[in-house]
Amino acid sequence: MPDDQLYRETHRPQFHFTPQRDWMNDPNGLVYWDGEYHLFFQHTPGSLRHGPNTWGHAVSTDLTHWRQLHHAALDIDDMGWMWSGSAVVDHGNTSGFGTGGVPPLVAFYTVGDTRIHPPKLCVQGIAFSNDRGRTWTKYDGNPVLGHIRAQNRDPKVVWHEPSRRWIMALFLDGNDYTLYGSTDLKAWQHLHDLTLPGVSECPDLFELPVDGDPTNTRWVFWGGNGGYLIGRFDGRMFAPETDVLHAEQGANGYAAQTWSDIPSADGRRIQISWMAGGKYPAMPFNQQMSYPVELTLRTLPVGIRLCREPVREIAALYDEAHAWTDVSLSARERRVLAKSGDLFDVSLEVDAASGSSFAVEVRGHLVTCNMSEGTLSCLNRTAPIRAIDGRVRLRALIDRTSLELFGNDGEVSMSFCYLPEAADYSLALHGGDEGARFRELSVRTLRSIW
């Protein structure tokens, strides 16, 4: 496909990141530096199917408009494929990789190849950049962490200020994870092992204030499918205070990772996911990312929980806006909100009387909220949702091939990929079996990021 036709294709998401061409999966190396958000990603050049992994690379100044750089940031070498990992700014130049008084960017990745004969065991390597992430040099002392067991992979590295060292969270095998520590990013010592039942791959580790109180914080240990633990971390051991909880209730959110080194003046914990399993027929690319979300810890009736909401930068895409108050639908009434368009940010607040229900119709697919059961359902997935002061709030980000739902300001989050019904651009409300009253309703159309 000619370059001037890229990003205009029928099934190309218009406000979610996709590669120009070829296969993409996990987000990698998320780091902010010098005014840019870096998004690396698992990339298979020359193929629409997953195969030999490299790290693709895109940058953004606003988490919304992305520019893909035209080379493999980390390419396959004689140690194997470039699997998932993370990146940091080494502000103190603890690694010694920095030059000219400027801190280097350091990336951590799993390298190995179990699919060839003889197989190469997965180990952990590092690379560094001194030119704002444009070129990378692999450390000549790799691997910095040898094989432990199985396909140990997906290193996520964070700085732990109280202990003045780097912490690596690493997936081992099954539901098992481990933590290592280092003062120079090169030599690593084992700290602690932990298990997350029902969760595997792609760890993340980060600290958040509870209810916005910086004097009351907890740590979150996150895994590939959106399962997570809340607890405390002393620089050596992670002590869970919950069983495994689930922040991702949809069918397609996977391998989420948060950005490192967001400036303290901003202070947000920002995350993006691979929306795994989407279908993009006759497209030059395969797979997409989620829209970035902000993570917070809030105290709910069931305890402290992780909440996810779209980052505020989406407002830069707002085009037309329509708002209504006190909209009542009779039983089984269908009211059309838009007959055309495929990019929307929809927000609504609904009275949640016992036994009531309502639905939002998105291009032939229904999002149904049933208050007698306390459930939110879409595309064969169901999540619990509660009424707050007799009302339910729901937000939907709608793109050409994806739908992201956020209930009650992020208490519930569900990510879906879908293919729309042919020529069906419907956006409508359904009043359910007893009718529904929408206290507030807004529909914003969005501009393309391309």
Q: Are strands 375-378 and 381-384 parallel, antiparallel or unpaired?
A: antiparallel
Q: What architecture (CATH level 2) is domain 315-446?
A: Sandwich (2.60)
Measure the N-to-C terminal CA separation of the chain; round to a whole number of Å.
16
**Please, where in the chain does CATH 2.60.120.560 lie?**
315-446
pLDDT band at 3 (very low <50, low <70, confident <90, very high): low
Poorest-pLDDT segment among 9-13, 259-263, 349-353:
349-353
Whether the per-residue pLDDT at 15 is higher than 60: the answer is yes
pLDDT band at 422 (very low <50, low <70, confident <90, very high): confident
What does the pLDDT read at residue 193?
98
What does the pLDDT read at residue 356?
84
E runs forming strands in 130-183: 137-138, 153-160, 165-173, 176-182
Whether the per-residue pLDDT at 182 is higher than 80: the answer is yes
Give the span between the Cα atoms of 327 and 99, in whole angstroms: 62
Q: What is the mean pLDDT of the chain?
A: 95
Report CA Rg, the chain. 22
What does the pLDDT read at residue 440?
96
Q: Residue 139: which region, alpha, beta or left (left: phi > 0; alpha: psi -120 to 50)?
A: beta
- Across 284-301, average pLDDT: 98
Q: What architecture (CATH level 2) is domain 23-310?
A: 5 Propeller (2.115)
- Across 253-275, average pLDDT: 98
What does the pLDDT read at residue 1?
54
The torsion angles phi and psi of 5, rounded to 5 degrees, stand at -100, -10
Query: Is there a contact between 250 and 416 (Cβ–Cβ < 8 Å)?
Result: yes
- Across 19-42, average pLDDT: 98
The candidate with the shortest Cα–Cα distance to 228, out of 241, 209, 211, 214, is 241
pLDDT band at 184 (very low <50, low <70, confident <90, very high): very high
Q: Is residue 314 helix, strand or coil? A: helix
What does the pLDDT read at residue 7?
95
Query: Is there a contact between 361 and 427 (Cβ–Cβ < 8 Å)?
Result: yes
What does the pLDDT read at residue 192?
96
What does the pLDDT read at residue 4?
67
Query: Model confidence over 205-241: pLDDT tens digits?
Result: 999 999 999 999 999 999 999 999 999 999 999 999 9
**Residue pointed to by tokens 């914990």:** 269
Whether the per-residue pLDDT at 2 is higher than 70: the answer is no
Whether the per-residue pLDDT at 410 is higher than 70: the answer is yes
Query: Model confidence over 82-122: pLDDT tens digits?
Result: 999 999 999 999 999 999 999 999 999 999 987 777 789 99
Dihedral over alpha carbons 157, 159, 163, 166 (to 10 degrees): 40
Whether the per-residue pLDDT at 359 is higher than 70: the answer is yes
What does the pLDDT read at residue 188?
98
Query: Model confidence over 374-384: pLDDT tens digits?
Result: 999 999 999 99
- Across 194-198, average pLDDT: 98
**Please, where in the chain does CATH 2.115.10.20 lie?**
23-310
Calculate what percentage of the chain has a pLDDT beyond 90.
91
Q: Are strands 81-89 and 67-68 parallel, antiparallel or unpaired?
A: unpaired
Residue 332: CB atoms within 10 A of its CB come to 11
Q: Residue 241: which region, alpha, beta or left (left: phi > 0; alpha: psi -120 to 50)?
A: alpha
Catalytic residue among 3, 4, 26, 261: 26
What does the pLDDT read at residue 196?
98
Q: Which residues of 152-181 are buried (b: 16+ CB within 10 A; e: fewer)?
A: bbbbbbbbbeeeebbbbbbbbeebbbbbbb
What does the pLDDT read at residue 308?
98
**Residues 231-235: contacts with CB within 8 Å, 24+ apart?**
233/160, 233/205, 233/207, 234/162, 234/163, 235/160, 235/162, 235/163, 235/165, 235/167, 235/181
What does the pLDDT read at residue 197?
98
Angle at 58 between CA 133 and CA 89, to 5 degrees: 35
- Across 37-46, average pLDDT: 98
E runs forming strands in 330-410: 334-338, 344-351, 357-362, 365-370, 375-378, 381-384, 391-398, 402-407
Give the span between the Cα atoms of 233 and 173, in whole angstroms: 22
Is 62 annotated in the active site?
Answer: no
Q: Residue 197: which region, alpha, beta or left (left: phi > 0; alpha: psi -120 to 50)?
A: beta
pLDDT band at 339 (very low <50, low <70, confident <90, very high): confident
Whether the per-residue pLDDT at 71 is higher than 90: the answer is no
Q: Is residue 3 helix, strand or coil? A: helix
